[in-house]
Amino acid sequence: MNRRRLTGQVFSATAFMVIGAVAAMLLFGAGRTPSSARTPAARTVDIGFSQDMIVHHQQAVTMAQAVGGRVSAPVAQLATGIELNQLKEIGQMQGWLSLWNAPQVPSGPPMTWMASGQDHGHGGHAAGSAAGRGRAGGDTMPGMASVQEVQRLGETKGTAADAWFLKLMIRHHEGGLIMTTAAARAATLPQVRSLATLITAEQRQETATMIGLLSAMGQRPLATPAHG
């Protein structure tokens, strides 16, 4: 990756995070006087979803950037769209966490917030089951690529790079949908539910496109991540 592209990506990431944080401040009323501010009280699901989805999105961004200049035009365009969408959403969720005075990263195992949704009558059995079984070894969110898989992505070129990127990203999106569909139901704040719903729609559309591209190459996706 050349210096100009790297500089551009760093600038884009910073810009989207700043935009997201500013949007969150406006959304929640930051900047008003203390007596007029009405910052909603986030609960476990809102915070946990935001923290976990930031981590999940960050790997998608890494994979999208890893194939720059080494894939076909349709796959490159798709990767760029995924990168830009997810950087914007990362910034929005980071802005929320700052306003909530919550850590930017989770302090314990991922997806425990999905089980906590049941405490408020939102999550249901499926969400709790996904939290327990939807990740390898209890430490990784569903759909996440291993270090070796990402390394292979960075070393592959041409048609093989197209296919491997599509396979990893389809599985990644399918894993993310386990969390977004749960948050769309269980989050306390309407803004969080709305973002989860938006991400769900985006990733379903992108997944359908990627499956079509992969099928045209005569190949099939990786196994769908397990969930309850």
CA distance 204 to 206: 6
Domain of 118, in residue numbers: 3-216
Other Cβ atoms less than 10 A from the Cβ of 1: the count is 11
Dihedral Cα 117, 84, 107, 187, nearest 10 deg:
-10
- Lookup: tokens for 94: 């980071």
Q: Does 226 reside within a domain?
A: no
Q: Does 123 reside within a domain?
A: yes
DSSP state of 225: P
Please state at what angle helix 3-28 crosses helix 73-99, rounded to 10 degrees: 40
CA distance 94 to 90: 6
Our count of domains for the chain comes to: 1
Q: Does 223 reside within a domain?
A: no
Q: Does 221 reside within a domain?
A: no
Q: Does 122 reside within a domain?
A: yes
Q: Does 192 reside within a domain?
A: yes
- Lookup: tokens for 163: 């296919």
Provide the 3-class DSSP secondary structure of residue 108.
Answer: coil
- Chain centroid to Cα 143, Å, comes to 10
- Lookup: tokens for 211: 């499956």
Q: Does 225 reside within a domain?
A: no
Q: Does 228 reside within a domain?
A: no
We report the CATH number of the domain holding residue 22 as 1.20.1260.10
Closest CA to 82 of 141, 208, 151, 169: 169
Give pTM, 2 decimals: 0.78
Full pLDDT tens readout for the chain, 228 residues = 444 444 454 444 444 444 454 444 444 444 443 433 455 678 999 999 999 999 999 999 999 999 999 999 999 999 999 999 999 999 999 999 999 999 999 888 999 999 875 544 333 333 333 443 333 335 689 999 999 999 999 999 999 999 999 999 999 999 999 999 999 999 999 999 999 999 999 999 999 999 999 999 999 999 998 765
**H or E element in which residue 166 lies:** helix 158-186
